[in-house]
Homo-oligomer: A and B are copies of this chain.
Amino acid sequence: MLTDDFHVFDTTLRDGAQREGISYSVADKLAVARLLDSLGVGFIEGGWPGAVPKDTEFFARAAQGELQLKHATLVAFGSTRKAGVAVREDRQVQALLDSGAPVITLVAKSDVWHVKRALRTTLDENLAMVSDTVSFLRAAGRRVFVDCEHFFDGYKHDSDYGVRVLDAAQAAGADVGVLCDTNGGMLPMGIGDTVRAVRARTGIRLGIHTQDDTGCAVANTLAAVDAGVTHVQGTANGYGERAGNADIFAVLGGLVFKMGLNVLPEGTIGESMRVSHAIAEIANLAPDTHAPYVGSSAFAHKAGLHASAIKLGPELYNHMDPELTGNSQKILITEMAGRASVELKSAELGMDVTDRPDVVSSVVDRVKERESSGWSYEAADASFELLVRDELHTAPSQFRLESYRVIIDRREDGALVTEATVKVHAGEQRIITTAEGNGPVNALDLALRSALGEVFPRLAALELSDYKVRILPGKHGTDAITRVLIETSDKSTEWTTVGVHPNIIEASWLALEDAVRFGLLER
């Protein structure tokens, strides 16, 4: 489907994971990879197998069939062999082969200062390390890209050595030499000049990897393409160490909409906003509302500009059609709140509401009302389905909460006892149960399931598989609104529900209640 002419290379899961505060589980990494694949990127760098245990597991599970990619090729990242060690003796290099990834990106030093002062080896040994490692991986049938670390700084220190590294990589069979602005100090003018100079001196295909320390990562990437590179690296939402990496959504927006390069499969760029927000959700970071192309405010107009002016000629006030990246013109109409999206989403979930305009209207109203108080259905399909079913009267009333009480007791000896009591009505019965848990949500979950277990035996198969909390801005820390997402599994499938409330326990309860209701539906 995609040719090899232009590489869109995503490193959200490797370099992007260096952002302070990000910590993906293996399941998170698999989910992020699936999202990136739906965006249509050509390469997904999954991590450093052999160096990071979670990354090793990620590649193993991907190889076992947990990751079915439609567009992208999976890439493992690693280092050239150690100085003074034979490549076949280098366990880190062996781990790259063991990962099963068809493409390997090797990081190599290309700055004489770093070779001498950080690596503490000779310039020739460093070249041999590149050459040996590329050859070894090529002999094992892998495609190899070489990340030339600190290339631009190195070019200032010795403009020949980086080219020698590129030549060594090419001679050994590498496909791409990636020029990395590792410390992120470059501006686009310097990037363009250096790329042009290097292109004239080496035959290897060139790539670009930038960091945002001057606020120019996206521009630097595009300037490099303008100067002839055909391989760009970026991360979702620009996540990365320090000021971050080049934001892949802005890079793609620039390439596709501003430079006219069709670097993605037909139609996938329209997934940008959804993928951006879903990855933020998984990273447990609030999406940047002002991000170019994909921020919820990226096309929001305030000052002096009336809706009628926009109606007159949206092209006068927007640099592009917001829908091309899955975004929309207005602030208040969010992804879910339009009639069309409610219809589409319902159909996607197997509910036909096209001939029920009354239901669509009331769903739109309820979603708008709830979104104004911090709810979000973006990542909670099951709660959205319950909301639609409630309007369609196809969600039976299975149980009703009378009350609950949770007590967390920390005793003088340091022992913690957490206990929840729920009183629920199911059928003709009023049931009271108490359960202990290792925390308030666990105790509530256990108490509710113990209360309903006899009436609904299938509850036994349900398991709360993930729990996420986001604190939404408020005036004071603990006064803020809490949004809880709960993922529940019944072994064959998984669903996500949402609860929002100033009180974290009530927010959790609302998500739990939806989780159990959804689990009990006949589907």
Q: A473 to nearest B CB, angstroms?
A: 4
A292 touches B213 (CB 8 A): yes
Instruction: Tell me if A523 counts as interface (CB < 8 A to partner B).
Output: no
A317 in contact with B183 (CB, 8 Å) = yes
Q: 1/0 contact trace for A487-508 toward B, CB 8 Å?
A: 1100000000000001111100
- Asked if A399 lies at the interface with its beta carbon under 8 angstroms from chain B, I say no
In the complex, what's the smallest C-beta–C-beta distance from A416 to chain B, in angstroms? 6
Contact B440 A505 (CB under 8 A): yes
Instruction: Indicate if the CB atoms of A506 and B284 lie closer than 8 Å.
Output: no
Residue of A117, A216, A254 with most partner-chain B CB within 10 A: A216
Whether the pair B302, A18 counts as a contact (CB closer than 8 A) is yes
Indicate if A459 sits at the interface (CB-CB under 8 A). no
Q: How far is the CA of A183 from the CA of B185 in the complex (A)?
A: 27
For the complex, is A95 an interface residue (Cβ under 8 Å from B)? no
Q: Which listed residue, B117, B185, B226, B487, touches A320 by the CB 8 Å rule?
A: B185
Residues of B within 8 A of A185 (CB): 258, 319-320
A62 to B395 CA separation, bound complex (whole angstroms): 49
State how many angstroms separate the Cβ of A272 from the closest Cβ of chain B.
13
Residues of B within 8 A of A286 (CB): 473
Inter-subunit contact B216/A478 (CB<8 Å): no
Interface string of A405-432 (1 = CB under 8 A from B): 1111111100010100001000000000
Q: Closest CB of chain B to A490's CB: distance in Å? A: 14
Q: Are B503 and A504 in contact (CB under 8 A)?
A: no
Q: Is A397 an interface residue (CB 8 A)?
A: no
Complex Cα distance, B465 from A468, in Å, reads 21
Chain copies in complex: 2
Give min CB distance, A54 to chain B, whole Å. 9
A505–B408 touching, CB < 8 Å: yes
B117 and A313 contact, CB distance less than 8 A: yes
A212-B292 contact in complex given A185-B258, A309-B118, A442-B478, C-beta closer than 8 Å: yes
Contact A502 B438 (CB under 8 A): yes
User: Within A254-289, which residues are at the interface with B (CB < 8 Å)?
Assistant: 254, 258-259, 284, 286, 289
Q: CB-nearest residue of chain B relative to A410? A: B404
Look across to chain B and name the residue whose beta carbon is closest to the beta carbon of A114.
B316
Complex Cα–Cα for A408 and B447 (A): 15
Please state if B378 and A20 are interface contacts (CB–CB under 8 Å): yes
Cα A317 to Cα B183 in complex, Å, equals 6
**Of A97-105, A170-178, A236-244, A356-364, which stretch is located at the interface?**
A236-244
Given A216-B222, A464-B476, CB of A406 within 8 Å of CB of B404? no
A319 in contact with B476 (CB, 8 Å):
no
CB < 8 Å: which of B247, B379, B472 contacts A20?
B379
What CA separation (Å) do A244 and B255 show in the bound complex? 20
Nearest Cβ on chain B to A298's Cβ, whole angstroms:
5
B479 near A442 with CB under 8 A, answer: yes
Does any Cβ of B come within 8 Å of A184's Cβ? yes
A472 to chain B, nearest CB (A): 7
Nearest first, the 4 A-B pairs at minimum CB distance are A185-B319, A219-B219, A215-B250, A442-B478
A binding-site residues for B, Cβ under 8 Å: 18-21, 23, 25, 27-28, 51, 113-114, 117-118, 150, 183-189, 192, 212-216, 218-220, 222-223, 226, 241-244, 247, 250, 253-254, 258-259, 284, 286, 289-293, 295, 297-304, 309, 312-313, 316-320, 331-332, 378-379, 401-412, 416, 418, 423, 437-442, 445, 463-473, 476-480, 482, 486-488, 502-506, 509
19 contacts between A and B (CB under 8 A): A20-B332, A21-B378, A23-B470, A25-B473, A213-B293, A215-B219, A215-B253, A215-B292, A241-B303, A242-B290, A243-B295, A402-B412, A412-B423, A439-B502, A440-B440, A440-B504, A464-B477, A464-B478, A466-B477
